[in-house]
Structure 1
Amino acid sequence: MANIRSLDPSASPLDYYGSELRRLREEAKLSQQQLGDILFCTASLIGQIETAKKVPTRRFSEQLDNALMTGGQFTRLIGLVLRSQLPNWFQPYADMEARATYICAFQSDVVYGLLQTPEYAREVLGARRDGDDLENTVAARLERQRIMDRDTPPMVWVIMSEAVLCQEVGGAKVMRDQLAHLLEMQRREWVKIQILPFSAGVHAGIAGSFNVLRFEDDPDIVYTEDFVQGRMTADPSAVREGVRRYDHLRAASLSLKESAELIARVMEERYGDRSGPGGGVLA
């Protein structure tokens, strides 16, 4: 029997999505099985989404709009649904990140979230999550990256420690694909990537990763994160300190060209094809 658990549409974006799906499906006089057949999915999946037990994907939402002729309602809504899957403490930052015109990020340990491949993101986020929760969080991170494909994307300037390139996350193939993605992203006019080499020694980011966001009409903010949660502030003295540190890091980093060359070199030398003649894996 279909799950008919009632939802409070105001409880969350996911609940609203589920209640609207059920309402429009019933208006179309379709059973869950019939709609599932149209979308090439199971009736169970339709039921789970209608009862807010499963987070829909962007592709599902696009197919749903076509099937129910909703004029893009679910495609517009899915962004809010996926954003709601981010940790509560991180959502305000994600909102500000989406509005920023200039993002300056320093990362000491991992690739910046806006530049992560799905496989790399899954490995990083999987250190603290598993199961469906992990997949929902990965989907939310990839949703954040959509700002990079807007008609007018933000300027994104990322400085990463050389350690980020050498810390193997998810195995050689994941790392090779991730570094190849960085090189591809750097070809975009609005994306700049610099590597802070080991030879820089003690540097202005030694205390940890941080981001500075700039806006057209709002004050700049600086964002820092510890192992529990993040902190965001527009305090002028904190922002000045963040900008000062970032300028020092930029000066100590390799040039854009040198950074790209290092990324390519590490990709080939450290994560290149490790299979020997006949496909055997080399030690």
Structure 2
Amino acid sequence: MSNEPIDPKSSARAFYAVQLKRLRTERKLTQAELGGHPAVMVSDKLIGHVENCYRPPTLRLSKGLDRAFDIREFFEGLYAAIKRESGIPSQFWDYAEQEALACGIKSYQNFLIQGLLQTEEYAREVLRVGQRPDRLDELVAARLNRQEILRGDVPPWLTVLLDESVIRRVVGDSGVMQRQLQHLLRLMQEPNITIRVVPAGAPVYLSGAFNLLSFHEGPGIAYVEGVGGHGQIIEPGRQVSDLEVLFDQAGAQALPVGDSAKLIQAVLEDL
């Protein structure tokens, strides 16, 4: 992480970070005091990450900051600018914000490693096609920033089902794939992360990848993935329930965690 001063003219996100720190300092508030404001209610660590451009802000945080500083739609407007500037499809941006608020995430993947589990170099290979180098750097950074939720004070429970073809598909080259599989094995040791493999030959014929989000309050939602992030958020209702059933059916065919780890290790050794 760089210690260089943030240039507020470099991007909307940088301007947001500098303005947040300026206003907090002018009001003589610590990061903990601002985070504890009734309209904000986030950790001091998250305030620090946003101020240092380590994590992007959310719409919820932006609205809360406007109320805390009594400024009408200032940070909310900056958030909209960040969203436009990112170039990330609106539906996926909205999903990522909900993902950051979820207490539970379930994901079925039949083509690629789930984004929250990707290494930087794997993500770079996945996102590379058709992107300028500077734009690619931004997209990779955005994907890695999403992974910060797994290292938070209260991380979500993450359960991922990977089709066996996913761990056998070489992305980049054998070195990239080796390090990605090693990363999966390390993540499988985390208490809040469960990764299981649906073996080849299992009677699971789902046509695409999807994620299910659950929350401490309110019903869950789903996100059906699409090419280039052009997926679709599924609001609470029958479709979400149907996807939950499909996830459970796929899970019934998946290997236990221990056997999944052994299969990943075997594929790793064959690369």
TM-score, normalisation: structure 2: 0.72
CA distance 1:74–1:217, shift in 2 (3 Å): closer
One-letter code of the match for 2:250?
A: L
- 2:197 aligned counterpart, secondary structure: strand
Q: Which runs of 4+ in 1 moved over 6 A?
A: 18-21, 71-74
Aligned to 1:176: 178
Preserved contact between residue 223 and residue 232 of structure 2 (Cα < 8 Å): yes
Structure 2 unmatched ranges of 5 or more:
1-7, 24-44, 59-81
1:260 aligned to 2:250?
Answer: no
Q: CA deviation at 1:74?
A: 6.5
CA distance 1:254–1:72, shift in 2 (3 Å): closer
Preserved contact between residue 14 and residue 81 of structure 1 (Cα < 8 Å): no
Aligned to 1:80: 56
Aligned to 2:149: 147
Aligned to 1:215: 215
- 1:95 aligned counterpart, secondary structure: helix
CA distance 1:134–1:198, shift in 2 (3 Å): same
Sequence identity (%):
33
- Equivalenced residue count is 216
CA distance 1:252–1:128, shift in 2 (3 Å): farther
Structure 1 unmatched ranges of 5 or more:
1-5, 25-70, 272-283
**Partner deviation per Cα, 1:95-129 (whole Å, 9 max, x = no partner):** 10000011000111110000000010100011242
TM-score, normalisation: structure 1: 0.69
- 1:80 aligned counterpart, secondary structure: coil
Q: Distance in 2 between matches of 1:260 and 1:144?
A: 24
The partner residue of 1:195 within 194, 197, 221 is 197
Q: Distance in 2 between matches of 1:245 and 1:128?
A: 33
Aligned to 2:238: 237
Aligned to 1:227: 227
- Decide which structure has the larger Cα Rg and report it: 1
Aligned to 1:30: none
- 1:194 aligned counterpart, secondary structure: strand
Preserved contact between residue 50 and residue 57 of structure 2 (Cα < 8 Å): no
Deviates more, 1:141-150 or 1:122-131: 122-131
The partner residue of 2:158 within 156, 162, 168 is 156
